[in-house]
Amino acid sequence: MAKTKSKFICQECGYESAKWMGKCPACGAWNTMTEETIKAASPGRRTTFNHSNSTVQKPSPITQIENAKEPRIHTRSKEFNRVLGSGIVKGSLVLIGGDPGIGKSTLLLQISAQLADNGNEVLYISGEESVKQTKLRADRLNITSDKLYVLAETDMEYITKAIEETNPSFVIVDSIQTVYQSEVTSAPGSVSQVRECTAELMRIAKTKGIAIFIVGHVTKEGSIAGPRILEHMVDTVLYFEGERHHTYRILRAVKNRFGSTNEMGIFEMKESGLEEVLNPSEIFLEERSKGAAGSTVVASMEGTRPVLVEIQALISPTSFGNPRRMATGIDHNRVPLLMAVLEKRVGLLLQNQDAYLKVAGGVKLDEPAIDLAVAVSIASSFKDVPSKATDVIIGEVGLTGEVRRVSRIEQRVVEAEKLGFKRVILPEANIGGWIPPAGIEMIGVKNVSEALQKTLGG
Calculate the CA 176 to chain-centre distance: 18
For the CA atoms of 138, 139, 141, 146, the dihedral, rounded to the nearest 10 degrees, stands at: 60
Entry field: residues in the chain: 458
Residue 103 labeled ligand binder: yes
d(CA 293, CA 383): 8
Q: Where are the domains of the chain?
A: 4-39, 71-278, 283-456
> Which residues, including other chains, have CB under 8 Å from residue 385's CB and lie 6 or more apart?
293, 456, 457
One digit per residue, the tens of pLDDT, for the chain of length 458 reads 456 678 888 887 778 888 899 999 988 888 888 887 765 544 444 444 444 444 567 888 988 888 767 788 999 999 999 999 889 999 999 999 988 888 999 999 999 999 999 999 999 999 999 999 999 999 999 998 999 999 999 999 999 999 999 999 999 999 899 999 988 878 888 888 888 999 999 999 999 999 999 999 887 766 776 667 788 889 999 999 876 667 888 898 989 998 888 788 889 888 888 999 888 888 888 888 888 899 999 999 987 889 999 999 999 999 888 899 999 999 999 999 999 999 999 999 999 999 999 998 878 888 999 999 999 999 999 999 999 999 999 999 999 999 999 999 999 999 999 899 999 999 999 998 888 888 899 999 999 999 999 999 85
- Runs of H (alpha helix) within 361-447: 371-383, 409-418
What is the pTM (predicted TM-score) of this model? 0.77
Nearest to 456 by CA among 394, 404, 403, 384: 384
pLDDT at 225: 67
Pairing of strands 353-359, 4-10: unpaired
Distance CA 260, CA 247 (A): 26
Looking at 3.40.50.1820, 3.30.230.10, 3.30.43.10, 3.90.180.10, the CATH number of the domain 283-456 comes to 3.30.230.10
Q: What's the pLDDT score for residue 227?
A: 64
- Which pLDDT score is estimated for 433? 86
Q: Is 317 annotated as a binding residue?
A: no
Q: Does residue 361 have a known ligand-binding role?
A: no
CATH code of the domain occupying 71-278: 3.40.50.300
**Residue 246: how many CB atoms within 10 A of its CB?**
11
Alpha helices by DSSP H, 317-403:
334-341, 371-383
**Sheet strands (E) in 11-152:** 16-17, 33-39, 93-98, 122-126, 148-152
CA 148 to centroid of chain Cα atoms: 27
Calpha distance 74→82 (Å, rounded): 10
> CA 330, CA 357: separation in Å to the nearest integer?
8
Whether residue 395 is annotated as binding a ligand: the answer is no
The reply to whether 104 sits in an annotated binding site is yes
Picking from 279, 255, 284, the residue whose alpha carbon sits closest to that of residue 265 is 279
Query: Which strands sit side by side in the sheet containing 93-98, from one edge to the other?
Result: 148-152, 122-126, 170-174, 211-216, 93-98, 236-241, 248-256, 264-270, 273-276
Nearest CA-CA partner of 387 in 350, 437, 421, 336: 421
The answer to whether 99 and 218 have CB atoms below 8 angstroms apart is: yes
Nearest to 407 by CA among 282, 262, 283, 245: 262
